[in-house]
């Protein structure tokens, strides 16, 4: 069975705290009739700190959609290689061992996709399959894992590299006074994540099954309004209440394999916000500690979109699990879409000394 190996997560050195965010919102939108509501919403996110790909002063400026997209491409090409290199090392494979690359991002656009650049520049074979996903937002992390799993089921000996690159701060819109946009200014952060799914061997989440579920007639509840100034985030107030609709889909997937979704050994859940996590705890009937890794990601990095599930999984690796522990991974996003995986924990084989670094070393190597 395919195994999702230890992820690598990089965040930029520039940071903004909750206190700075609230002060900025108060200063920049002092005349907004719903400012008290906006400030309360930002406080309720519980996001203590976020990381930004640019210094704050540059983030607050808006040089135009074209300039921002150029920055997205430049920073992605600068930062992705080191993240990919470490992810390959963690999986004990090389670029030549990879048969497909799944690249997900909703905060910038390129054509050809960045997978083409990676194949040309980072040593991957010319016959490497490319699977770029650009429009699934926060659900794309789960979707990337599921598409990699599908590929490994079709080609059992294949290895798939997954990369999530999200520079959410490049979507900041200083003149957008929509409540969803203002909330996003205090919720989202920037990050790059990468992980390898090995067709054979490896330590990590041994994939058992995956599924997608879309809630009918909710396609405009999480959306981008694309304007000349770029992507404008839109969020319907009904989104936090979708967990009561999505939970049965999670239970159905688990039940199809004889598992009880309420009694698993680990949970890797997209941290869209605290209400999402609280509601899912309630409907799944699990204690709040079940989502401790997702909550830690939200607190320390904010919502880093498709990269969230990889950071939560990274934290699970650091904590450790026993062989065979059953778990659930789920990403939620536009659609409203849920991308869900089931897996058991594989402790794998001992990796050759020198090929892998401990996760604490990754923090020093890739984080500021």
Active-site amino acid positions: 138
Tell how strand 159-167 and strand 190-198 pair up. Answer: antiparallel
- Measured CA to CA, the distance from residue 260 to residue 246 in angstroms comes to 16
Q: Which long-range contacts (CB under 8 A, 24 or more apart) does 219-222 make?
A: 219/334, 219/335, 219/336, 221/334, 221/336, 222/137, 222/138, 222/333, 222/334, 222/335, 222/336
Q: Which helix (H) or strand (E) holds 210?
A: strand 204-218
- Measured CA to CA, the distance from residue 27 to residue 264 in angstroms comes to 46
Cβ-based neighbours of 204, under 8 Å, separated by 6 or more: 3, 4, 5, 6, 313, 317, 345, 346, 348
Site of tokens 């994939």: 207
Cβ atoms of 226 and 106 within 8 Å: the answer is: no
């Amino acid at each position: 069975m395919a195994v999702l190996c230890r992820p690598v997560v990089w965040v930029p050195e520039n940071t903004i705290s909750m206190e700075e965010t609230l002060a900025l919102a108060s200063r920049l939108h002092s005349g907004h009739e719903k400012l008290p509501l906006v400030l309360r919403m930002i406080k309720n996110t519980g996001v203590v700190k976020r990381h930004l790909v640019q210094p704050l002063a540059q983030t607050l400026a808006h040089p135009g959609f074209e300039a921002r997209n150029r920055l997205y491409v430049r920073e992605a090409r600068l930062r992705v290689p080191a993240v990919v290199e470490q992810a390959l090392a963690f999986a004990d494979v090389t670029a030549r061992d990879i048969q497909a690359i799944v690249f997900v991002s909703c905060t910038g656009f390129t054509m050809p996709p960045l997978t083409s650049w990676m194949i040309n520049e980072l040593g991957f074979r010319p016959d490497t399959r490319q699977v770029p996903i650009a429009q699934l937002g926060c659900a794309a992390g789960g979707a990337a894992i599921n598409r990699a799993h599908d590929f490994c089921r079709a080609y059992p000996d294949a290895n798939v590299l997954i990369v999530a690159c999200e520079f959410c701060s490049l979507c900041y819109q200083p003149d957008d006074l929509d409540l969803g946009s203002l909330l996003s200014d205090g919720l989202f952060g920037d990050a790059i994540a990468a992980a390898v799914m090995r067709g054979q061997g490896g330590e990590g989440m041994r994939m058992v099954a995956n599924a997608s579920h879309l809630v009918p007639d909710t396609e405009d509840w999480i959306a981008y309004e694309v304007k000349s100034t770029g992507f404008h985030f839109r969020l319907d107030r009904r989104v936090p209440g979708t967990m009561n609709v999505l939970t049965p889909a999670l239970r159905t997937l688990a039940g199809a394999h004889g598992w009880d979704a309420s009694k698993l050994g680990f949970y890797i859940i997209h941290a869209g916000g605290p209400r999402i996590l609280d509601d899912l705890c309630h409907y799944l009937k699990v204690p709040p500690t079940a989502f401790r890794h997702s909550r830690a990601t939200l607190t320390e990095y904010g919502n880093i979109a498709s990269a969230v599930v990889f950071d939560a999984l990274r934290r699970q690796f650091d904590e450790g699990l026993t062989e065979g522990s059953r778990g659930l991974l789920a990403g939620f996003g536009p659609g409203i879409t849920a991308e869900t995986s089931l897996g058991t924990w594989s402790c794998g084989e001992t990796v050759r000394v020198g090929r892998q670094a401990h996760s604490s070393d990754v923090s020093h190597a890739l984080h500021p």
